[in-house]
Amino acid sequence: MTIQGNNSSLQCKVCGSDTVTLDDSQHKITYSVCNHCEFIYKDIQYHISPEQEHTEYKKHNNSFESLGYVKMFERFIDEHIKPLNINGVGLEYGSGPGPVLKELLSREGITMFDYDPFFNPNTDYKTRKYELITSTEVAEHFTNPIEEFEHIASLLKKDGYLAIMTSFHYNNPDTFLKWWYRRDFTHIAFYTPKTFEIIAEKCNLKIVKHNDKNVIIFQK
Ligand SMILES: [Zn+2]
């Protein structure tokens, strides 16, 4: 569907098309909505600073002590990673304060590295290429999605896989304005499978599959 709104002067951060403004009167903020690729981006004046972002992430209970968090990753691995039969080196991109997924994937026999701009900013990860890159609950924080995806794609070996977890929006303004996912004020970028088609095209990736909800697998 097409989302109605006033034309915005901002171009879509993914495809460059014109956008319309979506007004979130509850939170008193606005988003730029692209009706071409369906990308929704929180307008930049409402982004928080990297320092505030870091403080927020430290509050998250992302460790092995959080049973729900571990279970979510076990399901993710069983459903989406094991079928790829990865044999080689992996990178967990944006691993957060406790690199749980990295550890779980290591137990599956994948040699794992991790990078996080706040919690593990060592850039040695750039010196390798990977058979698998996972990035879970990260893409919704991207200020420049195309730049980020191009960077990640450049780190993949040929035929390597990129597994992204981020909640997809339903391309409906009423649903969006009630959606819990937008309430986390560190979330600024919202995608649909159509957005990812454009991203795949721009980054020379193929979409292998997605679950219509929150996981998409690309291949180089
Ligand atoms: Zn767009």
What digits encode the pLDDT tens for the residues 58-73? Answer: 887 677 778 888 999 9
Average pLDDT value over all residues in the chain = 94
What digits encode the pLDDT tens for the residues 18-43? Answer: 999 999 999 999 999 999 999 999 99
Find the 138 Cα to ligand 1 centroid distance in Å.
Answer: 19
Find the 195 Cα to ligand 1 centroid distance in Å.
Answer: 7
pLDDT of residue 190: 98
Find the 175 Cα to ligand 1 centroid distance in Å.
Answer: 19
Range 99-103 contact pairs with CB under 8 angstroms and sequence separation of 24 or more: 100/62, 100/63, 100/64, 100/69, 100/70, 100/73, 101/73, 101/76, 101/77, 101/134, 101/136, 103/64
Find the 161 Cα to ligand 1 centroid distance in Å.
Answer: 24
pLDDT of residue 14: 98
The two three-digit tokens of residue 68, written as one number = 């729900």
Find the 65 Cα to ligand 1 centroid distance in Å.
Answer: 39
Mean pLDDT for the stretch of residues 131-150: 97
pLDDT of residue 205: 98
Please report, rounded to a whole number, the percentage of residues in the chain having pLDDT higher than 70: 99
Find the 32 Cα to ligand 1 centroid distance in Å.
Answer: 10
Tokens 């929704």, residue? 40
pLDDT of residue 81: 98
What is the CATH code for 6-219? 3.40.50.150
Is pLDDT at 148 greater than 70 in this prediction?
yes
**Secondary structure of residue 81 in the 3-state scheme:** helix
Find the 15 Cα to ligand 1 centroid distance in Å.
Answer: 4
Tokens 């979409």, residue? 207
**Secondary structure of residue 36 in the 3-state scheme:** coil
Find the 127 Cα to ligand 1 centroid distance in Å.
Answer: 32
Contacts of 151 (CB under 8 A, 6+ apart): none
Pairing of strands 89-93, 130-136: parallel
Find the 171 Cα to ligand 1 centroid distance in Å.
Answer: 12
Instruction: Tell me the pLDDT band of 1, cut-offs 50, 70 and 90.
Output: low
The whole model's pTM is what? 0.94
Domain boundaries, the chain: 6-219
pLDDT of residue 39: 98
Is pLDDT at 218 greater than 70 in this prediction?
yes
Find the 75 Cα to ligand 1 centroid distance in Å.
Answer: 31
Whether the Cβ atoms of residue 97 and residue 128 lie closer than 8 Å to each other: no
pLDDT of residue 5: 77
